[in-house]
Amino acid sequence: MAKVKKKNKYGKNKRKVMIIGAGGIGSFLIPLLDKTKLYNITVYDPDVVETKNLTYQNFDEEDVEKHKVKVMQERYPNIQAEPFKVLTSKQVKGYDLVICCADNLAVRRTLYASSNIDWLDLRAQGRNAALISSLERPELYSSFTAGPDGSFSCQGDSWEGDSSGVHFMQVVAAGYGAQWIQRWFNDEDVKKHATYNG
């Protein structure tokens, strides 16, 4: 008997996606999603490209001192740049999926506390990467958002800033995130959360 494919609830309409963070993970996720031409992508990030970012983020020397989201908007046609922080639950409303690629727990806490939205949280630090989705049980959210405030590099605490010690788990998180997003929008089975150790 042939397997019947479920009808995709989005049809041929572009999906409205929000990405929080255009750095280590976001700068690699954005071009992957843009290539499909399936998404209208709004990206929030107030940061500018710094020289130290060039080793592990998807930016070039001519991008230094420009807003990360503006660089992404110049490169990719399906991007709307918002060079601002996400501070309230109201900002994440109205999207088919919100993807967190930020480097701090405060943004994640705001996202996890937002009701009636679908979200995906992508993380990388050093040799580790993780994916957590809104499909996970809410009683686990507090353990996923526990920890100190502040920003943390996807390179981890031990990275000394040189090319020889750079990690690439942020690229793994972006690639796996893109695959998860495609499958989720196609109503295929996806994991509630996953971790990867490199």
Q: What is the pLDDT of residues 152-163, one digit of tens each?
A: 666 556 656 667
For residue 3, being part of any structural domain is answered with no
pLDDT tens for residues 24-34? 999 999 999 99
For 107, phi then psi, to 5°, come to: -65, -40
List residues bridging with 122 in a β-sheet.
131
Residue 107 lies in domain: 15-197
**Ramachandran bin of 150, using left for φ above 0, alpha for ψ from -120 to 50, beta for the remaining angles:** left
| Angle at 101 (CA atoms; ends 98, 106), nearest 5 degrees | 85
For residue 54, being part of any structural domain is answered with yes
For residue 39, being part of any structural domain is answered with yes
For residue 8, being part of any structural domain is answered with no
Interatomic CA distance for residues 120 and 160, integer angstroms: 30
Which of 95, 118, 102 has the alpha carbon at shortest distance from 39? Answer: 95
Could you tell me whether strands 79-82 and 39-44 are parallel, antiparallel, or unpaired per DSSP bridges? parallel
For residue 1, being part of any structural domain is answered with no
For residue 10, being part of any structural domain is answered with no
* CATH at residue 166: 3.40.50.720
The domain tally of the chain equals: 1
- One digit per residue, the tens of pLDDT, for the chain of length 198 reads 343 344 455 556 789 999 999 999 999 999 999 999 999 999 999 999 999 999 989 999 999 999 999 999 999 988 999 999 998 999 999 999 999 999 888 899 999 998 899 999 999 877 788 899 999 999 988 887 876 665 666 655 665 666 766 778 899 999 999 999 999 999 999 999 999 887
For residue 192, being part of any structural domain is answered with yes
Interatomic CA distance for residues 17 and 40, integer angstroms: 6
Report in angstroms the alpha-carbon separations of 149 from 89, 106, 123, 144.
18, 7, 15, 13
* Residue 33: CB atoms within 10 Å: 23
Q: Which token pair is 34?
A: 């843009």
Q: What pTM, to 2 d.p., does this model score?
A: 0.88
For residue 106, being part of any structural domain is answered with yes
